[in-house]
Amino acid sequence: MTERLDQPRELTHRLRLYYDPEAFGRFSERFARFLGTARFIVYMTVFVTVWLLWNVLAPVKFDPYPFIFLTLMLSLQASYAAPLILLAQNRQADRDRIQYEQDRMAAERNQAEIEYLTREIAGLRMAIGEVATRDYIRAELQRLQEELSGGEGRSRGAGYEGAR
């Protein structure tokens, strides 16, 4: 029987493993973070040293000189570590891309606000140019005061001189 695309499939029971991609991603990040520490290097060095000393000096050797089993375990560890590190890097790259996009949008908003404020300041400067400022009024009043005080002195002096 051919499957029709316009009708849903019948339910079949399949054995399918389910995993939470987010939980697995968090695990891979923790694992990659641990692999990048000095603690991991010290642990691996101690482990390999104990392994080698046991198999060289102990009377019961479970992995004699070519240390094939140790090589196999280290290869297995590396074969799992590499994809987990890549997964962690991909997740970090995704987070960086999202952060970059948010930063870009914030920068565009800030630029628009700066342009708006620049236009507002320019408008205020033009409006202030047409309005008498405090300094302008003070200078004009001082000039008028000097004119008045200078004019009174002349008229008194003229009257005084005329009386002689």
Dump pLDDT digits (tens) for 35-66.
889 999 999 999 999 999 999 999 999 999 89
Q: What is the pLDDT of residues 114-159, one digit of tens each?
A: 999 999 999 988 887 777 778 888 999 999 999 999 866 555 544 4
The reply to whether 57 falls in a domain is yes
Specify the number of domains making up the chain.
1
Please state at what angle helix 68-130 crosses helix 38-57, rounded to 10 degrees: 170
The reply to whether 91 falls in a domain is yes
Query: How far is Cα 32 from Cα 86, in angstroms, rounded to an integer?
Result: 9
The reply to whether 3 falls in a domain is no
Which residue range forms the structural domain that includes residue 103? 21-120
The reply to whether 53 falls in a domain is yes
- 148, two tokens: 């008045």
pTM, entire model: 0.56
The reply to whether 137 falls in a domain is no
For 32, 68, 74, the CA distances from 71, given in Å and listed in that order, are 21, 5, 5
